[in-house]
Homo-oligomer: A and B are copies of this chain.
Amino acid sequence: MTKSIITIGRQYGSGGREIGEKLAKELGIPFYDKELLTIAAKKSGIAEEFFESNDEKPTSSLLYSIVTGNYGGDSLPFNHKLFLAQFDAIRSIAKKGPCVIIGRCADYALEDYDNVVNVFIHADLDVRVKRAIKEYNIENVKVAEQVSKIDKKRAHYYNFYSGRKWGSLENYDLTVDSGILGIDNTVELIKKFVELKDSLRK
C-alpha cells in the first residue's frame, strides 16, 4: 500500500474530483472532498451548512460576522474560523494515514509532512466547459463564464489563506492536463508518480 497523502488542486471542470476518487479507490485509501466539511463541522461544532455555503469561496466575513455575533472584540472573523476548522480537520485526517484530499488548501495545511504528493489538474477551457455541461448539468448559456468564475473563487480562497498562488507550478510536485490523457490515464499517471516516490523511501 502507498505511504503517501495525495492532495489534488483542480480547475473547475478538469475532472479533478473524479480523478481523485478513482485514484483513492485504486490505491485502497480514503477519499475526502465534501466529506471534509462534515468532519470539520463535527470537530468544531459549527453547523455543516455554513461550511457548505462558504466552501472554497473568498472571505466575505463582515456580514457573517455580524449575523453570528462575532463582529468586534478579539474574536476571529467567521470565515477564518471555518478555514481553521477545515485546516484542523485536514491535519487530523492526515495523522490517520494515506488518503486523497481534494482542494481546500490541503497542500498548504500539510506543508510540513514529507509523505505528501501535491498534484494540480487543469485542462483547456473548451474541455472543461464540455465536462461542466455533461457532468454538472450547468446550462449551456454562459457556461464558460461560470467555469471561470468558480476558478476565480477557488484561486481567491487559496491565495488568501495560503499566501501562495493557486495554479502556480512551484506549489505542485506534478501538474497534468487531463484533457490530453483523459480521466483514467491521468489516474494511471498520478499512480505512477506515487509509486516512484514511495520507492525512494524504501
Contacts of A177 on B, CB cut-off 8 Å? 172-174
Taking the nearest CB of chain B, how far is it from the CB of A171, in angstroms? 10
Chain B residues positioned under 8 Å from A199 (CB to CB): 185
Bound form: Cα–Cα A157–B193 in Å: 31
**Which one of A169, A172, A185, A197 has the highest number of Cβ atoms from chain B below 10 Å of its Cβ?**
A169
Assuming the contacts A169-B122, A174-B177, A180-B173, asked whether A196 and B200 have C-beta atoms less than 8 A apart, the reply is no
Contacts of A200 in B (CB 8 A): 181-182, 185
Q: Mark A98-123, 1 if CB is under 8 A from B, else 0.
A: 00000000000000000001001010
Residues on the B chain within 8 Å of A192, using CB: 188-189, 192
Neighbour of A189 across the interface among B168, B169, B185, B193, CB < 8 A: B193
B196 touches A189 (CB 8 A): yes
Q: Is A139 an interface residue (CB 8 A)?
A: no
Once bound together, how far apart are the Cα atoms of A124 and B124, in whole Å?
27
Considering the complex, give the chain B residue whose CB is closest to the CB of A185. Answer: B196
A79 CB–B CB distance under 8 Å: no
The reply on A176 being an interface residue by CB < 8 A is yes
User: What are 29 inter-chain pairs, A to B, with CB distance below 8 A?
Assistant: A117-B180, A120-B169, A122-B169, A122-B170, A124-B170, A167-B169, A169-B169, A172-B175, A172-B177, A173-B177, A173-B180, A174-B174, A174-B176, A175-B175, A180-B197, A181-B193, A181-B196, A181-B197, A181-B200, A182-B200, A185-B196, A185-B197, A185-B199, A185-B200, A188-B192, A188-B196, A189-B189, A189-B192, A189-B196
